[in-house]
Structure 1
Amino acid sequence: MSSQYMISRDNMPDSHPYETPYRYNRPILTGSGLPSSSDEPPTFDSLGVDIPFVFWHQDRFYMLYTGFDGIGYQSGLAVSSDLLHWNKLGPVLKREQERQGWDKVGAAGTWIIRESNSLDDLPKLKKIDGKYWMVYHSYPQEGYEAGPAQIGLAWCDSEDLMQWHRLQEPVFSWQNGAAWEAGGLYKACIIEEGGSYYMFYNAKTTHERWIEQTGLAISTDLLHWKRYPGNPVLSVSSPGKWDHKFVSDPFIVRDGSRWLNFFFGYDYQHAQEGLAVSEDLLHWTKFSHPLLSNGTPGSLDATHAHKASVLKYQGRLYHFYCAVRPWQPGDPANMNGEFRTITVASDCPFDNN
């Protein structure tokens, strides 16, 4: 891959094919809202849900998602036949009381390696040496994203996808990284291309009001990763821009010869979805404006519209994301005064709108 294929702002593509202006305007997945004082123990997603990853498996759609219960992240699966109505199957990366070490508090699964990277193909999972592979991150302390997280891998060889086995040690850490990632590592996605694995991840600085940017590491065996020397591959913009504090949560797919990164930007007020493009997975150019902005006051995504999972199905583009607004009476889950849920937008109107 060569830098001669870098995209300049003079030949940036029109963003229209990737815009999804029609919002479903209602949750498709919410936290359970089950309080710890009830007769049943709180579920892993009692306070909120986050980070959707939607894929096709055994003739139906699945969503890997992250839940929060006040202690830490855990991950679960939901299924759907139409991408709008989802049923939860239960947790797949759980907090294990007997587990010791770096990921005992919980695990946020964010990506499962796919057969195809193409936006035009159904996002099916790929078995490598007879196993499906999921990437996740874990924080060392109890609480909301408490302490510097590291990245690990889990595998599953059963087709119901409910039994995942975590490797004992992280495969990638902030501990031997640069200053821009010394505060810990967040969401990662792994792309297989040309005999190598490309792991895109976002990381933060150690400042109290930290900066998040996106980096790249490359591996041939999924276990040993080498940082790209040009990191971060996607940096925050200049002060005052909509993404001048965070450029986070990469979601990488290919459209023809062009690679797309659906990321989110943040300015300490609102998180909004953005788009960057590349010809070689190494050099990226961002669109200057948000692809999907936060909504109007009172709307489901009034505070944040972020953390994309994007796919095409039957000629339609679906953009799943985490929507956040201030909690309102009647919302099923309350996460520190916020209603944090998963919803979807599209390039075509929904029947219910």
Structure 2
Amino acid sequence: MFSRDVNRAGIVPLALTLALTLPLASGAWAGDEPFPDWLVRWEPIPQNPLFRGAGGDSWDARIRERGWILREEDGSYKLWYTGYNVERSPSRFLGLATSSDGRSWVRHPGGPLSAPTWVEDMCVLRHDGRYLMFAEGRDDVAHLLTSEDGLRWQERGPLDVRLADGRPIPPGPYGTPTVLRKDGLWHLLYERGDRGVWLATSADLKVWTNVQDDPVLALGPEPYDSTAVAMNQVIERDGVYYGIYHANAHRPWRDWTTCVARSTDLVHWEKYPGNPIVRNNSSSGIFVDEPGGPVLYTMHPEVRRYRHPGTGDESDHR
């Protein structure tokens, strides 16, 4: 995805976003308004931040960009994240933390996971009994990794993205992958330099072809996302897609925000008039479905959890 340090003084662009269809919790998604209350109204829990860089001489002294949380069938949580320590290495490494409740997290022992290549800004989903990870590699080039257990990952190579006429997209970064499988077809949302979000599709995860060569989510026209946009997740409900994206109003980039948009076809997007939904330099947001309803996390520059003021587990208030 984009490269950004902890202070967000600047970033090297790119984004692809992996779209995830969340199961519906009873009553959590009620309402027919274009931007339902559960989608746009959030408050941070007092325990924040829940997870951050380990500091010191650790390989993951800092974390950054989009991590990914999956809630497993047994109710446990996995958090994949990018760790780095510029005093030790310029590389970005893949880490894992686990949790029983989505609030208290424990790092996987033994250092970074066995991913063979540079990994950051990842999106993870389960398909046919294995994990698929769409992530940025070195120079913000999106690539695919697969795993049977979420610990040992195999590199499957960079994503082959083509223009609508079949020619390769122009050279340069393409990142922040978000992927959705719908009616047997894979849909990929990605960004180039955070200057817009493009949509490509694939039948086999090997070749991705742009639906159109113009971005489906563009900069502006409001100031809050006038210099950067990149999709982080797409969820679907009753034929409507809700996208959560990060945005910036400044250049050099600083003070990232979390925003939402909606679409009925993944091509035409309407931005929420009340954006941003989260400020305070908290970005790279994703939703995680829980028994009480969806919960929002932001991942950069540390992991924070948010609850809807009218729902959620009371432990979020402790």
Fold shared per TM-score above 0.5? yes
Moved over 6 A (4+): none
Amino acid at match of 1:57: E
Residue equivalent to 1:320: 297
Conserved in 1, the CA contact under 8 Å of 2:283 and 2:299?
Answer: yes
Q: 2:67 aligns with which of 37, 44, 52?
A: 52
Task: Please state how far the C-alpha of 1:183 moved relative to its aligned partner.
Answer: 4.4
User: Over the residues paired in the alignment, what is the CA RMSD in angstroms?
Assistant: 2.4
Deviation per CA, 1:104-128, whole angstroms, max 9, x where unpaired? xx11151123xxxxxxxxxxx222x
Instruction: State the TM-score, normalized to the length of structure 1.
Output: 0.70
**Which residue of 2 is the match for residue 111 of structure 1?**
123
- Structure 1, unpaired ranges of 5+: 1-10, 36-41, 97-102, 114-124, 140-147, 205-210, 296-303, 324-339
1:254 aligns with 2:236: yes
Q: Does 2:209 match 1:226?
A: yes
Alpha-carbon distance between aligned partners in 2 of 1:51 and 1:12, rounded to the nearest angstrom: 29
Q: Which residue number corresponds to residue 97 of structure 2?
A: 78
3-state SS of 1:17 partner:
helix
Structure 2 partner of 1:24: 45
Q: Is the 8 A contact 2:285 2:299 kept in 1?
A: yes
1:162 is aligned to 151
Question: Does the 8 Å CA contact 1:52/1:320 hold for their aligned counterparts?
Answer: no
Contact 1:67/1:75 (<8 A) preserved: yes
- Cα shift at 1:30: 0.9
Give the TM-score, by structure 2 length. Answer: 0.77
TM-superposed CA distance for 1:196, in Å, is 0.7
Number of residue-to-residue matches in the alignment: 269
User: Is residue 176 of structure 2 the alignment partner of residue 187 of structure 1?
Assistant: yes
Shift of 1:248: 1.0
Corresponding residue number in structure 1 for 2:168 = 176
Identify which of structures 1 and 2 has the higher relative contact order when contacts are C-alpha pairs closer than 8 Å and 6+ apart. Answer: 2
Seq. identity, %: 17
In 1, the alpha carbon distance for the partners of 2:231 and 2:95 equals: 18
How far apart are residue 350 of structure 1 and its match? 5.4
Q: Does the 8 Å CA contact 1:150/1:172 hold for their aligned counterparts?
A: no
Tell me if structure 2 keeps the 8 A contact 1:253–1:261. Answer: yes
For 2:105 and 2:160, how far apart are their aligned partners in 1? Answer: 33
**8 Å contact kept, 1:20–1:318:** no
In the TM superposition, what whole-angstrom CA distance separates every residue of 1:179-207 from its partner, at most 9, and x where no partner exists? xxx54122101111011100111211xxx
SS in 2 for 1:341: coil
**Aligned-partner SS, 2:275:** coil
**How many Å apart are 1:289 and its aligned residue?**
2.8
Q: 2:55 aligns with which of 33, 36, 40?
A: 33
1:82 positional shift: 0.8
Unpaired stretches in structure 2, ≥5 consecutive residues: 1-31
Matched, 1:345 2:306: yes
Distance 1:271 1:172 in 2: 29
Distance of 1:149 and 1:170 partners within structure 2: 10
Which structure has the larger Rg over C-alpha atoms? 1
> Residue in 1 aligned with 2:133?
134
What residue is the counterpart of 2:144 in the other structure? Answer: 153
**C-alpha separation between the residues in 2 aligned to 1:135 and 1:263?**
16
